[in-house]
Homo-oligomer: A and B are copies of this chain.
Amino acid sequence: MKIAVVGVGLIGGSMMLKLRQRALASYVFGIDKNERHLQEALQLNIIDEAADLEKGIENADLIIIAIPVDSTRVLLPEILDKISENQTVMDVGSTKSGITEAIKTHKKRNRFVAFHPMWGTENSGPKSASADSFSGRAAVICDKEDSAPDALKTVEKIAEYLEMNLLYMTAEDHDIHTAYISHISHITSYALANTVLEKEREEDTIFQLASSGFSSTVRLAKSHPEMWVPIFKQNKENVLDVLNEHITQLRKFKSALEKENYDLLEQLILNANRIRPILENKS
């Protein structure tokens, strides 16, 4: 399968490494506005050839869009305009309603498959890519009935070769679930970093005392705004809904402490502890 990957960063790069390793990708055209990233992707054997979008579309069986979700929303209709009925387009974005809405009435809507691999790190660029990042993780396909059967099959094959566990849901449900499970974690982490930077003016002390717990909780705060502002923008309503709930939950801790109600504090913590068997899938 010939693939054109638009965006040779962390996600696009990691996918290509795996799909080339497993010989599903016979040839990869890399497309990126960032010339340095293209050169790095060539050196790292992520792509065979640095190309422009036209050449990629002309030659690829599958076009993978792996750029921030606001750019995807603009680029996807243009790509659909240009492809044939034999080609498939997929994205890898963290929000789905905005993107599917943008092509709802496009006459080649059925050549697109909305795909979201649930993996990422706080790093970016082809140098952060690694082949086995996706193995064993969840991937979501949204609104599968809006895609042509052969296009769907192509993307399911990609998920299989990436060794991901595939789930199906509507774009709307996807955006609700990711607000809870992924997007709020980033806001929490950003806000925690800003809290510590505001309160702890001695940067040396932060570095010296940072425990593994702090580093773990604040890790996502290193993530770039180019990726995350568009996600929050496209998933605004759901993110606000869960952010309000999060502030309410924090206020419960505040109130328990202020009132020295340590029984309530214990109850709040015991309730939070319920996340352990769920994450480890034990009842």
Contact = CB atoms under 8 A, between A and B. Distances in A.
A217 interface: yes
Contacts of A221: 272-273, 275-276
A239 B274 CA distance: 23
Given A211-B119, A216-B220, A232-B257, A200 B180 contact: yes
A261 B135 CA distance: 37
Counting every copy of the chain, the complex holds 2
Interface of A: 118-122, 137-138, 140, 165, 167, 177-178, 180-182, 184-200, 203, 205-225, 228-229, 232-233, 236, 239-247, 249-254, 257-258, 260, 262, 265-266, 268-276, 278-279, 281
A217 B190 CA distance: 11
Given A121-B212, A216-B216, 9 more contacts: A118-B209, A119-B212, A140-B209, A188-B192, A195-B246, A236-B260, A240-B257, A243-B257, A247-B254
Main secondary structure of the interface of A (DSSP, over half): helix
Nearest to A242: B199
